[in-house]
Structures are given as C-alpha cells and as structure tokens.
C-alpha cells in the first residue's frame, strides 16, 4: 500500500492549473527545476530559521512538502497531456525526485532529539528506493512506485516528524531514534519491493 494510489485523484484536482501553465508556455522541466529549488530552500532555510525561532520553523516543512508534491504531479501532467516529454526531462525528473527526497530530511540533522546518523541513513535509503524504481524501469521498461514508503509516503512521514519537532519533541527519550529508524526500515523495504516486484524478475 502507498499514498501513490491517490495520485490520479490529485492529478485531476490539479488539471486546470496544468492546462493553464501549458498554455502559458511553462515547460515540464521548469516545474521540475522549481521543485528542486524549493527543496534546496527547505534544506537551507529551515535550519537557519530554527536558529532564530526554534522548532516552530519546522512548521514550514509540511506546507513545502505539499507544494513539492503538487509540482511533482504538475510536471508529469504537462509532459503527458501536452506531449512535451523529452529524454532530458525524464532524467531531470528522476534525478530531482532522488535529490528532493534527500534534501527534505536534511533539516532534521539539526534536531538534537534525532540522531544525525539516522538522518543520513534515512536520506540514503530514500534515494535508494527511488533508484530502485528507476533501475526496474531501465531493466523492464516499467517504473515501479511500490510502497510502503514512496514519495507521497515520505512526504507525509517527514511532515509528521516536522510537526513533532515543532511541538517540542514530546515523548520518551529515544523516540526520535525510533521514529527515524522505523522510516529507514520502511525505505529499505520499499527499495526491495520495487526490485522484487518489477516485471521480468528483477531480484532484490
């Protein structure tokens, strides 16, 4: 199961914006690049703001995640609906997805209740899960989006973690380690599923 199953409904909600942007001449690559710039801003801006206002700065992360997911849906819809797909765009999109996954966990490096080693592992595992989907595509021609921690699931999970930080990291000692550790495990499972379930018998 994955929130990716809800993507078609999300795309339908965004269709008027997609068509409007296409009429205005906005390219899919411009939208993809905007998502990367947003992720860079989050990675740099949230820790900087946290130095001034504390954990409340992490309230910006869920909103940014929602915007990132919208941009992620819009670029693909412009490419498909308006026949603007290119090989360079496909490469940029896949590279952007992996980069965005890593950048959105960077702010947690600066949270004392969350182990830095766990954050690094989570970033690496999220990138690996995206790479696994692309590898399946390269081998079989089918891009895998299997969960349990796909892009939308990552966005929801990191948003929840951000709200926990904004609330002052309540709970027992070690909760941050447990939460991040659980996400790492889910990301690794996701990578394995994408390889194992890919048509053509790609093995994890």
CATH of residue 134's domain is: 1.20.120.1760
Please indicate, yes or no, if residue 42 is contained in any of the structural domains. yes
Confidence class for position 105, pLDDT limits 50, 70, 90:
very high
Number of domains in the chain: 1
Q: What is the DSSP letter of 1?
A: -
Please say if the pLDDT value at position 130 is more than 80. Answer: yes
Q: What integer is the mean pLDDT of 72-101?
A: 91
Please indicate, yes or no, if residue 143 is contained in any of the structural domains. yes
pLDDT at residue 149 in the model: 94
- Is the distance from CB of 195 to CB of 204 less than 8 angstroms? yes
Q: What is the DSSP letter of 108?
A: G
Please indicate, yes or no, if residue 55 is contained in any of the structural domains. yes
Please indicate, yes or no, if residue 165 is contained in any of the structural domains. yes
Please say if the pLDDT value at position 202 is more than 60. Answer: no
Percent share of the chain, pLDDT over 90: 73
For residue range 142-156, list pLDDT tens digits in order: 888 888 999 899 999
The chain-wide mean pLDDT, for the chain, equals: 90
Please indicate, yes or no, if residue 189 is contained in any of the structural domains. yes
pLDDT at residue 58 in the model: 97
Residue 50's domain spans which residues?
3-196
Please indicate, yes or no, if residue 203 is contained in any of the structural domains. no
Please say if the pLDDT value at position 38 is more than 80. Answer: yes
pLDDT at residue 2 in the model: 62
Please indicate, yes or no, if residue 204 is contained in any of the structural domains. no
Please indicate, yes or no, if residue 202 is contained in any of the structural domains. no
CA distance 167 to 152: 23
Please say if the pLDDT value at position 106 is more than 80. Answer: yes
Q: What integer is the mean pLDDT of 157-161?
A: 96
Rounded to two decimals, the pTM is 0.88
Q: Considering only residues 33 and 137, tell me which one the structure prediction assigns the higher pLDDT.
A: 33
pLDDT at residue 155 in the model: 93
Q: What integer is the mean pLDDT of 56-75?
A: 94
CA distance 180 to 119: 7
Q: What is the DSSP letter of 67?
A: H
């Amino acid at each position: 199961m994955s929130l990716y199953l809800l993507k078609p409904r999300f795309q339908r909600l965004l269709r008027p914006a997609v068509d409007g942007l296409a009429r205005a001449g906005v390219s899919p690559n411009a939208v993809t690049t905007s998502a990367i710039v947003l992720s860079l801003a989050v990675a740099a801006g949230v820790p900087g703001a946290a130095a001034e206002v504390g954990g409340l700065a992490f309230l910006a992360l869920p909103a940014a995640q929602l915007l990132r997911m919208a941009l992620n849906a819009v670029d693909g819809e412009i490419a498909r609906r308006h026949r603007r797909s290119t090989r360079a765009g496909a490469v940029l999109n896949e590279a952007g997805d992996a980069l965005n996954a890593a950048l959105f966990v960077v702010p947690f490096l600066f949270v004392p209740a969350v182990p830095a080693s766990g954050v690094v592992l989570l970033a690496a595992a999220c990138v690996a899960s995206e790479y696994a989907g692309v590898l399946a595509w390269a081998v079989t021609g089918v891009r895998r989006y299997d969960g349990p921690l796909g892009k939308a699931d990552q966005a929801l999970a990191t948003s929840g973690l951000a709200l926990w930080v904004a609330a002052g990291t309540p709970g027992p000692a070690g909760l941050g380690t447990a939460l991040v550790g659980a996400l790492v495990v889910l990301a690794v499972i996701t990578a394995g599923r994408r390889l194992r379930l890919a048509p053509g018998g790609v093995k994890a």
